[in-house]
Amino acid sequence: MTSFSIDPSIAIAGAVVGLMVGLTGMGGGALLTPILVLFFGIDPLTAVSSDLVAAVVMKPIGGAVHLRRGTVNLKMVRWLVAGSIPAAFLSVVVLTHVTDHEVINEIVRQLVGAALLLASVGLLLKGAFTGRRATVDAQEVVIHPGLTLAIGVFGGAMVGLTSVGSGSLMMVLLLMVYPQLTSAQLIGTDLVQAVALVASAAVAHVLFGDVQIGLTGSLLVGAIPAVWLGAHISSRAPDRFIRPILPVILVASGMKMLGVPTTATAGVVIGLIVLTLLTRRGAASEPPASTKP
């Protein structure tokens, strides 16, 4: 796809993923890259490169909504981008100078699959952020510079190599370090820091990767209005119905990217769905915690 013509099917895929990004702060690379590879037959390096360039436009739209709502911790953002910007750029340079194009595509495919499975495990272990309540204002959270910088470095490298991580991986790590943040604060902070992160990775992919303008344009036609809508919803409403779906999608995508047979993938996905339903039912049936001192 080298022309500027818009592909309606890819635009629809961009809209679906854009809505997910706006609603949850996740799903950009974690959903879009495997969709492009598995359903549209686009080679992995091109999918990652074009996905990241599209994310440069998507992320600021969602981040701007959360900035206006006051759900962004700017101190945390500064420490995250201090690590993620150089890590994202350098990881792309290293990857694209290692070997030939076919081997790079296979490396990227394997890395994306592994990153998706890692992200899904993190979400499952942390309960997918369901039902979080505000404990402090976003600006009052005490920052841990070393840990936050390390999260930025790790997330930046993963995004540069796979386009996965600015939401799905980094969000889980931020929750571990800052459990007092609400879901909206996590999403807002992550979306804003991801602007600089994906810009750094996108510049590296423009210089050294394989960006296709027609593919990127098609993605943006659907994604721009969808991410705006999703961000407005997530900044006001709970997302308990969206987040439990993400680990299932990530596991399925990751297994297919790694070449796992469809029957085995389907079995694991069905098992996860059953586990998720049982877990949610058990949580709903638990009596509320006592409020007595």
Domain coordinates of the chain in residue numbers?
8-282
State residue 90's pLDDT score.
Answer: 93
State residue 136's pLDDT score.
Answer: 61
State residue 63's pLDDT score.
Answer: 79
Task: Fill in the DSSP letter of residue 21.
Answer: H
Distance CA 164, CA 272 (A): 21
Confidence of residue 153 (pLDDT cuts 50, 70, 90): very high
Average pLDDT over residues 217-236: 82
pLDDT per residue as tens digits for the range 137-148: 666 788 999 999
pLDDT per residue as tens digits for the range 35-80: 888 889 898 888 888 888 888 887 787 778 778 888 888 999 999 9
Question: Which residues, including other chains, have CB under 8 Å from residue 291's CB and lie 6 or more apart?
Answer: none
Distance CA 84, CA 70 (A): 23
State residue 129's pLDDT score.
Answer: 47
State residue 268's pLDDT score.
Answer: 81
The DSSP code sequence of 240-265 is TTTTTHHHHHHHHHHHHHTT--HHHH
Chain-centre distance of CA 41, in angstroms?
A: 21
State residue 240's pLDDT score.
Answer: 59
Q: Which of 103-117, 240-254, 265-279 has the lowest mean pLDDT?
A: 240-254
State residue 152's pLDDT score.
Answer: 94
pLDDT per residue as tens digits for the range 103-127: 878 888 888 888 888 777 766 665 5
Average confidence score pLDDT of the chain:
78
Torsion of CA 159, 164, 165, 169, to 10 degrees: -150
pTM above 0.85, yes or no: no
SS3 183: helix
Residue the block writes with tokens 């540069």:
160
